[in-house]
Chains A and B, each alone.
Chain A
């Protein structure tokens, strides 16, 4: 596997070299939080962050996205006919995402890329993006990626992995897309001794002491866990604020809405959340998940049981810890996973 050495003195120039060929997105420090945003001319990704408040899912799946447009002006020949909008899917590069967020996108892809249907918006954005990962050397106390199917140096979903080696980065080439980006940036010097990558990887993994157990989830009976008594306790404090679903890199649920200004209409999709009662409310007033306990249970059952059974690709969680650190009432997916994984029907 090819590894390119990028001297930090060449970093900014390389980023500038990319601008003609890619729309760049990277971590930027806001007033209080780091977030991923488009990098204006002269702006460089700030790679000194631990984790961003929101995940990178919005890069391929914007919080609000126009899908179709139309006119309702009946004097026009094509009135009330819905058309695909012209979205720019020119190459983009996402610089400095964490391996957990990249892995999350591979899980979300299972939902949007199926044999029956392909979601063109999600897939075109995903395919247009080159994912440049940044290995994690200082995980947070809420990180549990190593037991959630990912890891601080995990390469799944990445085209390149950057490892910070002091005065330089080591860029591990994972795909051709990644190699092309390096060439475009003008970073060409092959690294000599790369043993530091393995050392740093082991060190980083050892720092992640928060762990979950998921080994028994698959064999559990769905209806037995669904009717387990602990859900009442688990959901008691929940405010149904939806923060967990919005910050989660693997939550993909969305709503579709029409909006009309004058005669010009759009059909758009917006992130939605299983935490909201409206999510499942029937027009009759009947609501299959009208109670808070049902909604909280749905979120965890989806991530830790339904997804596990359906795709056989592990849990729908990468251990980024965002829901843990941002939940206003300290609901912790790690303890719920433990309850589910160890649940035995009382005899």
Chain B
């Protein structure tokens, strides 16, 4: 019997400071046993439990993409006991990863469709995974237009700046990067909150288009009416939820919203699905 509680052993291969305030770091892990990497086959949108012996586990979205091989990456905000400890760890340290867990964005459904990706703050991790997946030469032709609205408080708080710059240069993805505010005179992108930029830049919704939205509750709250106005139906608005989790496999009982378990039935739900559940997230 496979033990779903037993993590794969991994080594920290690289650590990057991801934001100017140093509250986020991106950790790259390699599996100690090569075959574990194959067992950890994942899709963009899934998460995993980062498992630190002696400290505990924390569920984090997978930031690397299935098309990137040889490692997995996670961008982690320093917040509680486990993440604070993780931020103090060094390259070479051994820990565990348990997963992949949860469902992914509905890639089969999205084939042939236009995709609007909306992200805010540090909830851009699985969206990064998704964009890398979509832009891969094997995949790009399967999807329609791709628009990305990504916002952070300030330029220094944007994640994955190098990649954002690369994507800006491409003609097969429309990037709409924004910050809440900046005093940088050389800032050449948008200034304004995410919902405003969505309203100004995002293409209208129709049966051939889906929106994927991931960000802080306040951003989601104000973006939702904008998407409705743009014509996105509730079953075409895809969201990724977070709740406190322990097991990650639908057994420990705490992350439920109604009969749905965020860890196993989610974390990805359409707004149409969420409309039918109690708002306990």
Our pick among B56, B242, B278 for the contact of A223 (Cβ within 8 Å) is B278
A19 interfacial contact with B, CB 8 Å: no
**Do B53 and A120 touch across chains, with their CB atoms under 8 A apart?**
no
B57 interfacial contact with A, CB 8 Å: yes
**Do B259 and A265 touch across chains, with their CB atoms under 8 A apart?**
no
In the bound complex, residues from chain A placing their C-beta under 8 Å from that of B54 are 70, 72, 258, 260, 265
How far, in whole Å, are A280 and B94 apart by their CA atoms in the complex? 29
Residue total for B at the interface (Cβ-Cβ under 8 A) = 46
**Do B2 and A84 touch across chains, with their CB atoms under 8 A apart?**
no
In the bound complex, residues from chain B placing their C-beta under 8 Å from that of A307 are 259
**Do A274 and B253 touch across chains, with their CB atoms under 8 A apart?**
yes
B142 interfacial contact with A, CB 8 Å: no
Q: How far is the CB of B278 from chain A (nearest CB, A)?
A: 5
**Do B276 and A222 touch across chains, with their CB atoms under 8 A apart?**
yes
Residue total for A at the interface (Cβ-Cβ under 8 A) = 54
Which applies to chain A's interface (DSSP): helix, strand, loop or mixed? mixed
How far, in whole Å, are A260 and B276 apart by their CA atoms in the complex? 43
B153 interfacial contact with A, CB 8 Å: no
**Do A80 and B252 touch across chains, with their CB atoms under 8 A apart?**
no
A187 interfacial contact with B, CB 8 Å: no
Contact with A along B69-104 (1 / 0, CB 8 A): 000000000011001000000000111100000000
How far, in whole Å, are A310 and B259 apart by their CA atoms in the complex? 6
**Do A82 and B276 touch across chains, with their CB atoms under 8 A apart?**
no
A29 interfacial contact with B, CB 8 Å: no
Look across to chain B and name the residue whose beta carbon is closest to the beta carbon of A273.
B253
**Do B259 and A123 touch across chains, with their CB atoms under 8 A apart?**
no
In the bound complex, residues from chain B placing their C-beta under 8 Å from that of A111 are 250-251, 253
**Do B80 and A256 touch across chains, with their CB atoms under 8 A apart?**
no
**Do A302 and B94 touch across chains, with their CB atoms under 8 A apart?**
no
**Do A282 and B242 touch across chains, with their CB atoms under 8 A apart?**
yes
22 A-B pairs in the complex with CB atoms less than 8 angstroms apart: A80-B53, A80-B96, A81-B96, A83-B6, A116-B264, A222-B258, A222-B276, A252-B251, A253-B253, A256-B247, A258-B55, A258-B56, A272-B254, A274-B253, A274-B254, A279-B244, A280-B254, A283-B79, A288-B280, A288-B281, A301-B278, A306-B258
